[in-house]
Chain A
Amino acid sequence: MHAPAPSGSAQFWLGVRMFLPVAVSIAAYGVVWGVLAGQAGLSVLEVALMSGLVFAGASQFVALDMWTPGALPVLSIVIAAGIVNLRMLLMSATLRPLVGHLSLPQQLGAMFFVSDEQWAMTMAEVRKGTGSVAFLLGTGVLSWFAWMGSTLCGRVLGAFIDDPTKYGLDFAFTATFLALLLGMWRGRGDLVPWIVGALAAILTSRLIEGNWYIIVGGLVGSFAGALAETIRERRHVA
């Protein structure tokens, strides 16, 4: 026997409630990003625009590392954002069955909210047979407010720190990236892309001036990771 189909607004609030614990951890990331954004020289308005319009944490962290006010490497910042966010191509592709019945502008509007945690939770609901657009929007809207609010908080609080190097805060970038990286560990398949990416970046940073080593390391490392994975699968089949 099936329960009556829940209404859209009930699904929306179910998404909000279920996403609440995740939103708390997103907010912790957001505060860290906001503090670092202040260090990198972003104004409060720039923080609000970037968090509100880009709304993609990993690429925003990378942008901060490249942010040098006065001589902003605009092209490499935009390219890096594209590369880091490329994975969302596959995420939004899997949401097509969920939003297929909507008009195109509505479908595209829903896609704006696609992000790692929110997508994972919605897909888990879809697999249970209970996913809906309203659920997707509930998690997405909460995620957006958590990110926007926490990054602004971090930016405003971070302004009270006068000389970052005096307190070792210049190391906050490296520490944050290292922790983010360790959090992405999914198994031994990650070893090849990480090591190759690191080595390619070190080599490139010595040979080419600027921030290109991030893009080169990211592309070469992930290519090597995919190569290693493909070779392993072939062996497995044979």
Chain B
Amino acid sequence: MSLEALIAILGMAAVTFAIRAGGLLLANRLPTTGFVASWMKHVPGAVLAALVAPAILAGGAAEAIAAAATALIYLVSRNLFAAMLGGVLAVYLARLALGA
């Protein structure tokens, strides 16, 4: 394992634990409603949207078809694993069909 990988993992662990501990220690001073609370609540969804959108845009027609298939499978099955496998299979078949 490289030193930079170790630093990255320990850094992630330290930051994450500081947040978990910080919530407890600052419990009486943290807003539970209002703007800041709402901001924190929306972060995970916005981060995932920020991950997905450029990736789909950078792909071609095969990736767009596969993204639609992934979404459909997830909405029907509510199963992450099935959606991932379906998406991978869809991109494989779409690339074959489109010759990409």
Contacts and interface: CB of A to CB of B under 8 A. Distances in A.
Nearest to B79: A28
B22 to A, nearest CB: 6
Contacts of B35: 226-227, 230
B80 A180 contact: yes
Contacts of A94: 27, 32
A183 interface: yes
Contacts of B83: 175-176, 178-179
Given A69-B2, A85-B19, A179-B83, A217 B9 contact: no
A53 B50 contact: no
Interface string A179-214: 111111000001001111111111001000000011
A53 B49 CA distance: 26
B49 A197 contact: yes
Interface stretch (A2-10, A15-23, A55-63, A128-136): A55-63
Interface in A202-238: 202, 205, 213-223, 225-227, 229-230
A161 to B, nearest CB: 11
Contact of A81 (B12, B38, B52): B12
B88 A87 contact: no
B43 to A, nearest CB: 4
B51 A62 contact: yes
Given A169-B88, A214-B50, A59 B23 contact: no
Interface in A29-74: 29, 31-32, 42-43, 45-46, 49-50, 53-56, 58-60, 62-63, 65, 69, 72, 74
Nearest to B86: A175
A171 interface: yes
Interface string A83-126: 11111111111111001000000011001101000000000000
Interface of B: 1-2, 4-13, 15-17, 19-24, 26-27, 30, 32, 34-57, 59, 63, 66-67, 70-71, 74-75, 78-81, 83-84, 86-92, 95
22 contacts: A25-B80, A46-B9, A53-B10, A72-B5, A74-B8, A78-B8, A78-B15, A81-B11, A82-B15, A86-B40, A88-B19, A91-B23, A93-B26, A175-B83, A177-B52, A181-B48, A197-B49, A197-B53, A220-B46, A229-B42, A230-B35, A230-B38
